[in-house]
Amino acid sequence: MIRIAVAGGGLSGLAAAYALLSRNDNLQVVVFESDARAGGKIWSDKTDGFLCEKGANGFLDNKPMTLELCKELGISPLRSNENSKKRFIYSGGKLNALPDSPPAFLKSGFLSWKGKLRLALDLIAPKGPDDETVADFVIRRLGKEALERLIDPMCSGIFAGDPYKMSIKHCFPRIKELEQEYGSLIRAMLKLQKAKKKTEAEKMRSCEDKNFSTSQPLNSSTSQSNVSPAPSGTLTSFHDGAQTITDALKEKLNGRVTLGVSAHGIEKKGNLYQLHTSQGIVNADAVILATPAYASAEILKDFDRALSQTLSGIPYAPVAVVCFGYRRDKVVHDLNGFGFLIPHIENRNILGTLWDSSIFPNRAPEGHILLRTMTGGAKSPHLASLNDNVLINTVFDELKPLISLKEEPSLVRIYRWEKAIPQYVIGHGDRLRLIDERLKSHPNLYLTGNAYKGVGMNDCIENACKLADEIVMKITG
């Protein structure tokens, strides 16, 4: 029987192990997790009737693989309500609703008229190099004001990152693809919008031909065209929080997950790998390192110095998550929305706040609300390490004038991640190529996780499943 050892019991490691067994149940798979719980940074904390997410709070429903996995696991995804479509950006001392259409955007005050006119130069801007920073790309195509007011907060919200260092190709590949394919983002948007309308019209005619009712709204996720270059889809989680999926994976693995056991080294003895753990040596035909890049670098430091150094070069941004629980009557703002992000140019001390209880049910007791604020990130890492009292006061002082808080919160929870989100900075593609080259020297040694080809839950699941397919094909082929 082929033995596969997986180091790391977060979403990537659990998904890889489950996918391997679902494709070939004759495999002997075991997962080692250094923590006392599985799930990694997917961690739902239920306390005093509130449900606080320490890390990721969900995934977008635009990738079928995650939804298919949920079906296999027997868990029911919960899509966010209509409030999630209303998003805000802080500017000019207040929260401004993000426009939901090009005409609304032109009427809005997000950009000056000079900034809006600058957008038109996208039609004649030259294509850029194969890769460049997000800032260079946006300034070249849309102007500096668009970068500072619109794109910068998006970078903070997804990556807690710095657009002047982030790789456009690896952080927002769809945007780069549109430029290469259409030569202009505006031209791409117009053509994709036209293609979407055509697809929906054809679908409607098909329904009419088959005597189906067309009174039901069309499911845009079936369209072949994505109108937006930014990530699209509806934020989706579960009634009991994002941890539902990692709990379900662990349960399906049926005792194959060993908690409280860390991996700290690896050797090759003949055709076998020896994974050195805190409870002894584990022999395996194949090893998957599903730990964060810095942890994988430590495991590999005496096995492959070059690979270890490449992995250790992937930077991470620190983030502190601060949850405030309130009685509803103690917050004047209607909180009818997803929440807000803050451009770095505004010089505030938080990255933004999600109104979690407005997005999903079961996040706060009846008559209460839950606010989840992020601080730190690549641009202001020191803010993530403020002591608890200073951090609480900082967040309260930032939120009080914005959403009219009447008093201090009834519940406070702080979750700190010293290395929260991997940063795909310029040169990330070169790192990936070096990693692939080094792994060719070590057959049956694999890496997976959010440090490489996508930071979201969808990415972790998709990459883990692809890896399982590769391994099973190699074994059976």
Q: What is the pLDDT of residues 231-270, one digit of tens each?
A: 578 999 999 999 999 999 999 999 999 999 999 999 999 9
Q: Give the pLDDT score at 208.
A: 62
**Residue 405 pLDDT greater than 90, yes or no:** yes
Last residue of a domain, one of 207, 232, 257: 232
The answer to whether residue 90 is domain-embedded is: no
Q: Give the pLDDT score at 240.
A: 97
Note down the domain range covering 217.
111-232
Minimal CA–CA distance to 448: which of 254, 286, 207, 216?
A: 286
Contacts for 218 with CB less than 8 Å, ≥ 6 apart? 200, 203, 204
**Residue 220 pLDDT greater than 50, yes or no:** no
The helices-and-strands tally (H runs, E runs) of the chain is 17, 20
CATH code (residue 145): 1.10.3110.10
Last residue of a domain, one of 422, 438, 466: 422
**Residue 194 pLDDT greater than 90, yes or no:** no
Q: Give the pLDDT score at 383.
A: 97
The answer to whether residue 7 is domain-embedded is: yes
How far is residue 340's CA from residue 352's CA, in Å, rounded to a whole number?
5
Better-scored residue on pLDDT, 109 or 154: 154
pLDDT tens digits, 443-474: 999 999 999 999 999 999 999 999 999 999 99
Q: What is the 3-state secondary structure (H, E, C) of the chain?
A: CCEEEEECCEHHHHHHHHHHHHHCCCCEEEEEECCCCCECCCCEEEECCEEEECCCCCEECCCHHHHHHHHHHCCCCEECCHHHHCEEEEECCEEEECCCCHHHHHHCCCCCHHHHHHHHHHHCCCCCCCCCEHHHHHHHHCCHHHHHHHHHHHHHHHHCCCCCCEEHHHHCHHHHHHHHHHCCHHHHHHHHHHHHHHHHHHHHHHHHHCCCCCCCCCCHHHCCCCCCCCCCCCEEECCCCCHHHHHHHHHHCCCCEEECCCEEEEEEECCEEEEEECCEEEEECEEEECCCHHHHHHHHCCCCHHHHHHHHCCCEEEEEEEEEEEEHHHECCCCCCCEEECCHHHCCCCCEEECHHHHCCCCCCCCEEEEEEEEECCCCHHHHHCCHHHHHHHHHHHHHHHHCECCCCCEEEEEEEEEEEECCECCHHHHHHHHHHHHCCCCCEEECCCCCCCCCHHHHHHHHHHHHHHHHHHHHC
The answer to whether residue 328 is domain-embedded is: yes
pLDDT tens digits, 292-306: 999 999 999 999 999
CA distances from 402 to 95, 181, 264, 342 (A): 7, 41, 47, 12
Are 383 and 265 members of one domain? Answer: no
Tally the domains of the chain. Answer: 3
- The average pLDDT across 415-433 equals 98
Pairing of strands 257-259, 28-33: parallel
Q: Which of the four pLDDT bands, split at 50, 70 and 90, describes residue 288? A: very high
Are 126 and 208 members of one domain? Answer: yes
The answer to whether residue 429 is domain-embedded is: yes
**Residue 214 pLDDT greater than 90, yes or no:** no
Pairing of strands 87-91, 50-53: unpaired
Q: How many CB atoms lie within 10 A of CB 361?
A: 11
Minimal CA–CA distance to 316: which of 448, 152, 450, 125?
A: 450
Are 394 and 459 members of one domain? Answer: no
The answer to whether residue 106 is domain-embedded is: no
The answer to whether residue 42 is domain-embedded is: no
- The average pLDDT across 78-102 equals 89
How far is residue 331's CA from residue 180's CA, in Å, rounded to a whole number?
47
DSSP 25-36: TTSEEEEEESSS
- The average pLDDT across 435-450 equals 97
Are 440 and 463 members of one domain? Answer: yes
**Residue 224 pLDDT greater than 50, yes or no:** no
Token output for 315: 């930077």
Minimal CA–CA distance to 299: which of 315, 312, 283, 317?
A: 312
pTM of the predicted model, to two decimals?
A: 0.92
Are 164 and 305 members of one domain? Answer: no
Are 214 and 278 members of one domain? Answer: no
pLDDT averaged over the chain? Answer: 92
Q: Give the pLDDT score at 206.
A: 67
Q: Give the pLDDT score at 465.
A: 98
Q: Is 222 left (phi over 0), alpha (psi -120 to 50) or beta?
A: alpha
Minimal CA–CA distance to 12: which of 467, 421, 432, 416?
A: 467
CATH code (residue 22): 3.50.50.60
Token output for 274: 């020896």
Q: How many CB atoms lie within 10 A of CB 379?
A: 18
Q: Give the pLDDT score at 9.
A: 98
Lowest model confidence (mean pLDDT) among 148-157, 187-196, 247-256, 387-396: 187-196
**Residue 346 pLDDT greater than 60, yes or no:** yes
SS3 326: strand
How far is residue 264's CA from residue 276's CA, in Å, rounded to a whole number?
6
Q: Give the pLDDT score at 218.
A: 33
The answer to whether residue 41 is domain-embedded is: no
The answer to whether residue 66 is domain-embedded is: yes
Q: Give the pLDDT score at 156.
A: 95
pLDDT tens digits, 139-174: 999 999 999 999 999 999 999 999 999 999 999 999
Last residue of a domain, one of 232, 255, 270: 232
Better-scored residue on pLDDT, 191 or 204: 191
